[in-house]
Amino acid sequence: MITTDRKSSRSAYRNLWKWAVIAPPLLFFALVAGTAMGETSIPMDVVLKVLANKIFGAAYPVDRIDAGIIWSYRLARAVVAACCGAGLALSGVVLQALLRNSLADPYLLGISAGASTGAVAVAIIGLGGGLISMSAGAFVGALLAFAFVAMLASLAGGGTGLRAAGVIVLAGIAGSQLFNALTAFLIAKSANAEQARGIMFWLMGNLSGVRWADTITVVPAALFGLLVCIFNIRALDAFTFGSDSAASLGIAVKRVQFGLIAVAALMTAAMVSITGSIGFVGLVIPHAMRLVVGTRHRALLPASALAGAIFLIMADIIARIVIPGQVLPIGVVTALVGAPVFALILIGRRAAV
Amino acid sequence: MILRCENLGWRVRRKEIVSNASLTLNEGEMLGLIGPNGSGKSTLLRMLAGVRYPSTGRVYLGGTPMPELRQREIAQTLALVEQHADTEERITVREAVELGRTPFLSVLQPWSQDDEAIVVDAIAAVDLHGFENRNWHTLSGGERQRVQIARALAQQPQVLLLDEPTNHLDIKHQLAILQLVKELPITKVVALHDLNQAMICDRICVMHAGRIEALGVPAEILTETRLMNTFGVCGHFMTDPFDGSPVIRFHRAHRMD
Ligand SMILES: Nc1ncnc2c1ncn2[C@@H]1O[C@H](COP(=O)(O)OP(=O)(O)OP(=O)(O)O)[C@@H](O)[C@H]1O
Ligand SMILES: [Mg+2]
């Protein structure tokens, strides 16, 4: 980054609209790939024909079973994966900027665990008597978990720097464990064996069984999150030197922190209520994108959203084809990629200090 | 722009860190804020800057009580250079200075030629030309400090608050930065430890144990008794043979018991 020619890095940083040109074709290509690849791969041209039939009302002759798989099953799944990836990556960017901690991530901070607990509480024991949805339950759980972790971290000595980064990760572990235990307790108490098995599988992060109906939750959540983040690009940048510095740059610190953390929790909750908790996306993607586009949010936010979407579509493809005849939970794939990256970040931080 | 505070106080856990501080800054003056470590200089500056909410009393910016102003409006007229500002992010000098334009840019407003010119000037003013694309974490302590000052200058403030702006700088840059600050046609408050440097201020405010102990022109404020009573050092005044200005020569500190 240091050696990048000044002009090119300038225009790359400045022009938000550029992303409106870059993102759609890449996203489209990823979606088509996610739809074509799988246990039985379907040729690209068939995929494109089915899409043309469905979207533009074209009348290409296609196999009805292929059409069914492509449209109802794989495309819906790829769209949900894309939204989850974008949402989780954005949550990671927001949390890292506001907490000034490169290890902040909805999964590591226990927000995903809290969301799972909330979703399970609604789904199994029927909290709210059917009046609240799983997503709403997940949102409340996510906020409770974040409040718990934030309180624990501040009691243990907040601030910034290496020690504080360690403290918040430890607090996150405590929070994750607590909420995972609560979830396990709820399942053991109220679910039968069959339900329990299904829920455990779902909790590991899973896209099986995702249908078009699920896009009603995740698409608006991702778009809303992206919009709110874009409206706060300068505010996020202003936190670079801490919250006092942000305040002296005219940012209403409390309001921005509260609002954006709520939005990050909302996105995480929406995603978790559909797919279970998929780990490490919010950690890996923003870090990778910082290396590519720098740390300024006008580039980092759109790049992370796009890369997160593509990453999760790819992870889902891998989950479906890596073991023939069996579908791996997608959370396993992201963890296999994410855990080593997490380790690299830890080592890199030591070297940088 | 006039900055004023009345009976300003700040306490944590019932401990008074700053109490009963009242100050009125004259337009265009440079006020030196001096006092021993822990006397409350940084705390007072943060409250004056509107980034810390006082427990008692009020700050008035241009006659309006600060709580009635939006944070953004404050930042458009007032800038603060913190004592210790640091980041882990890989940010370049230019990007750090560009932050100074934050209060003037609305959400999707593009970067303008004016903003660019202001940033370039601010970088030049602190003698960091050629450092634009250097990463923050590769800079020396003094270079970082100058970046922070440039960021504040990029806000084009009418009131500038600086918390020990020279504490990491080499002697040349100390003098240059103080001269630069002195010549800015705006109201300035500078927390300083070097009492000889404080003499270039128009007025000096002495803090001791959270209270404003004295306020006035340097010649009246800095006396041998004050050096002894407030700072616990023995010093006396001499005259610079070149320009006739007073110089403090310190002898020895009392034992730190
Ligand atoms: N958040 C806090 N909690 C407890 N004590 C605090 C807090 N902030 C400041 N203090 C205490 O208040 C006193 C004044 O601090 P301040 O930073 O204002 O001093 P200062 O005059 O700027 O000192 P220095 O010359 O060392 O910069 C110190 O004794 C400090 O320990
Ligand atoms: Mg201080």
Does a structural domain hold residue A315?
yes
pLDDT of residue A6: 43
Quote the domain boundaries for residue A159.
87-352
pLDDT band of B253, cuts 50, 70, 90: low
pLDDT of residue A164: 62
For residue range B7-31, what is the model confidence (pLDDT) as tens digits?
999 998 889 999 999 999 999 999 9
Does a structural domain hold residue A250?
yes
pLDDT of residue B249: 87
pLDDT of residue B237: 86
For residue range A305-338, what is the model confidence (pLDDT) as tens digits?
999 999 999 999 999 888 888 888 898 899 998 8
Does a structural domain hold residue A43?
no
pLDDT of residue A236: 95
Average pLDDT over residues A286-311: 93
B9 part of contact set with chain A, CB < 8 Å: no
Q: Which of A1, A2, A102 sits opposite B88 (nearest CB)?
A: A102
pLDDT of residue B241: 87
Q: Which of A234, A247, A290 sits opposite B71 (nearest CB)?
A: A247
Q: How far is A215 from chain B (nearest CA, A)?
A: 29
Higher pLDDT, A139 or A197: A139
Strands B211-216 and B187-191: what pairing? unpaired
Least confident piece of the model among A257-261, A340-344, B62-66, B121-125:
A340-344
Q: How far is A249 from chain B (nearest CA, A)?
A: 5
For residue range A49-77, what is the model confidence (pLDDT) as tens digits?
888 888 888 888 888 888 888 888 899 99
pLDDT of residue A7: 41
Does a structural domain hold residue A41?
no
Average pLDDT over residues A82-95: 95
For residue range B68-103, what is the model confidence (pLDDT) as tens digits?
999 999 999 999 999 888 888 889 999 999 999 999
Token code pair at residue A262? 């709520």
- Of all residues in chain B, the percent with pLDDT exceeding 90 is 68
Structural domain count, chain A: 1
Residue A191 has pLDDT above 80, yes or no: no
Instruction: In whole angstroms, give the CA distance from residue A173 to residue A28.
Output: 37
pLDDT band of A5, cuts 50, 70, 90: very low
Report whether residue B19 contacts ligand 1, using a CB cutoff of 6 Å. no
- Which backbone phi and psi does A208 adopt, to 5 degrees? -65, 145
Does a structural domain hold residue A76?
no
Average pLDDT over residues A170-183: 90
Residue A289 has pLDDT above 60, yes or no: yes
Q: How far is A327 from chain B (nearest CA, A)?
A: 39
pLDDT of residue A157: 66
SS (H, E, C) chain B: CCEEEEEEEEEECCEEEEEEEEEECCCCCEEEEECCCCCCHHHHHHHHHCCCCCCEEEEEECCEEHHHCCHHHHHHHEEEECCCCCCCCCCEHHHHHHHHHHHHCCCCCCCCHHHHHHHHHHHHHCCCCCCCCCEHHHCCHHHHHHHHHHHHHHCCCCEEEEECCCCCCCHHHHHHHHHHHHHCCCEEEEECCCHHHHCCCCEEEEEECCEEEEEECHHHHCCHHHHHHHHCEEEEEEECCCCCCEEEEEEEECCCC
Average pLDDT over residues B206-213: 93
Strands B203-208 and B30-34: what pairing? parallel
Write down all domains in chain B, each with its CATH number in brackets.
Answer: 3-222 (3.40.50.300), 223-257 (no CATH)
Residue B189 has pLDDT above 50, yes or no: yes
pLDDT of residue A305: 96
| pTM beyond 0.80, yes or no | yes
- Which residues have a Cβ under 8 Å from the Cβ of B109 and sit 6 or more positions away? none
What rounded mean pLDDT belongs to chain A? Answer: 84
Does a structural domain hold residue A3?
no
Least confident piece of the model among A154-158, A180-184, B33-37, B152-156:
A154-158
Average pLDDT over residues B104-112: 86
Residue A108 has pLDDT above 90, yes or no: no
Report whether residue B40 contacts ligand 1, using a CB cutoff of 6 Å. yes
Residue A230 has pLDDT above 50, yes or no: yes
For residue range B132-141, what is the model confidence (pLDDT) as tens digits?
999 999 998 8
DSSP assignment string, A70-136: IIIIIIHHHHHHHHHHHHHHHHHHHHHHHHT-TT--TTTTTHHHHHHHHHHHHHTS-GGGGSS-HHH
Output the residue whose Cα is nearest ligand 1's atom 12: B17
pLDDT band of A93, cuts 50, 70, 90: very high
Report whether residue B99 contacts ligand 1, using a CB cutoff of 6 Å. no
- Of all residues in chain A, the percent with pLDDT exceeding 90 is 32
pLDDT of residue A163: 58
Question: Which ligand places an atom closest to the C-alpha of B38?
Answer: 1
Question: Which ligand places an atom closest to the C-alpha of B163?
Answer: 2
pLDDT band of A14, cuts 50, 70, 90: low
Average pLDDT over residues A249-255: 92
Least confident piece of the model among A13-22, A99-108, A247-256, B37-46:
A13-22
pLDDT of residue B79: 96
Average pLDDT over residues A118-123: 86
pLDDT of residue A190: 78
Does a structural domain hold residue A297?
yes
Domain with residue A185: its CATH number is 1.10.3470.10
pLDDT of residue A26: 92
Q: Which protein residues have a CB closer than 5 Å to ligand 2 (ion)?
A: B 42, 83
Tell which one of B17, B53, B166 to mutate to probe ligand 1, the residue whose CB is within 8 A of the most ligand atoms: B17
pLDDT of residue A8: 38
Does a structural domain hold residue A129?
yes
